[in-house]
Amino acid sequence: MNRPITRRAHGKINVFLRVLGPRPDGYHDIETLVLPVSLFDTVTVEPASGLTLELEGEPSVVARLHLADPDSNLALVAARTLAQAAGVDTDRSGAHLHIVKRIPVAGGMAGGSADAAAVLHALNELWACGFGGARLAEIGAHVGSDVPAMLAGGPVLARGRGEVLHPIYATTTPWIVKTLDFQVSAADAYRWWDERGARSGPDGGVVVAALETGATRTLGACVFNDLEAGVIEHHPEIAQVRDAFLAAGAEAAFVSGSGPTVVALAPHMIHADTIADRVPGSMVVTGPPD
């Protein structure tokens, strides 16, 4: 295929995140409800010699990505991993990746994993690999723990280190998101959980049921994130954002994933803009996206 292919890479929030404990491979077993939201990056792939990456977006976001090792960018890792699995000679039949960034970097919304998932879908088409969803998920698991969930394209209950997925139904719910101007690595967040000797949170079945039925008040009462206490201990300013959302009328406010992004649940869509206005720098999103 010679034409460019464009995909949306939606960010996510973890409506609950339960850490079950460390694994022998260095990861942690978790249980989490991954909800894609309307905030998205745009990923375009087109035929080229070699594998190249171009980033576009808000200058400070792009600058953070350029400071990192380009070879570690998950979009490029995904492209290389897919090429190896499909036997594609990228020197002759590679791809140029163009990503317009909107999702915060290292903010707990899986922006890098979402980009990687979109790249896998788009290159699977561009290179005519013919891989189905299950095979792409296997490949995605080698790229990053969040990638299989982002490949799913809808709300999922994820277990293992994130690769065991069960699709769920979710009513559309209004959320408000505020990013902060620093990053938290997932490795640090899980290490802090270990160091605290923290216990696992409750079974997430009530959270799943509340999201499926649209019971916003119940949902607000039962969302949780086991990583949150450790992240806030090292970055107490996050608690100020959380408390500001609650004071503005949110049903709940908590850290998304490893943070530092804070998400708040609005009682109803008509309240979301008001809450966002009272917490400067925040934005309204919906999940799952239309």
* 237 and 189 both lie in a single domain: yes
Helices (H), the chain: 59-67, 74-86, 90-93, 111-126, 133-143, 147-152, 186-196, 205-213, 216-222, 228-234, 237-247, 269-278
- Which CATH number does the domain housing residue 26 bear? 3.30.230.10
Q: What is the pLDDT of residues 48-80, one digit of tens each?
A: 999 999 988 876 666 666 555 666 789 999 999
* 156 and 24 both lie in a single domain: yes
Q: What is the pLDDT of residues 129-173, one digit of tens each?
A: 999 999 999 999 999 999 999 999 999 999 999 999 999 999 999
* 52 and 127 both lie in a single domain: yes
* 108 and 218 both lie in a single domain: no
How far is 202 from 28, CA to CA, in rounded Å?
A: 17
Question: Looking at 110, 140, 167, which one is the last position of a domain?
Answer: 167
- Which CATH number does the domain housing residue 280 bear? 3.30.70.890
Average pLDDT for residues 41-46, to the nearest whole number? 98
Task: Give residue 104's identity as a one-letter amino acid code.
Answer: P
- Report residue 168: phi and psi, to 5°: -130, 165
Give the domain extent around 200. Answer: 173-287
* 81 and 35 both lie in a single domain: yes
> pTM higher than 0.85 for the full model?
yes
* 183 and 256 both lie in a single domain: yes
Question: Looking at 135, 167, 199, which one is the last position of a domain?
Answer: 167
* 147 and 177 both lie in a single domain: no
* 16 and 149 both lie in a single domain: yes
* 135 and 220 both lie in a single domain: no
* 85 and 212 both lie in a single domain: no
Question: Looking at 147, 167, 187, which one is the last position of a domain?
Answer: 167
Average pLDDT for residues 259-280, to the nearest whole number? 96
Query: How many separate domains does the chain show?
Result: 2
* 149 and 209 both lie in a single domain: no
Task: Give residue 113's identity as a one-letter amino acid code.
Answer: S
What is the set of active-site residues?
12, 146
* 127 and 181 both lie in a single domain: no
pLDDT of 198 strictly over 90: no
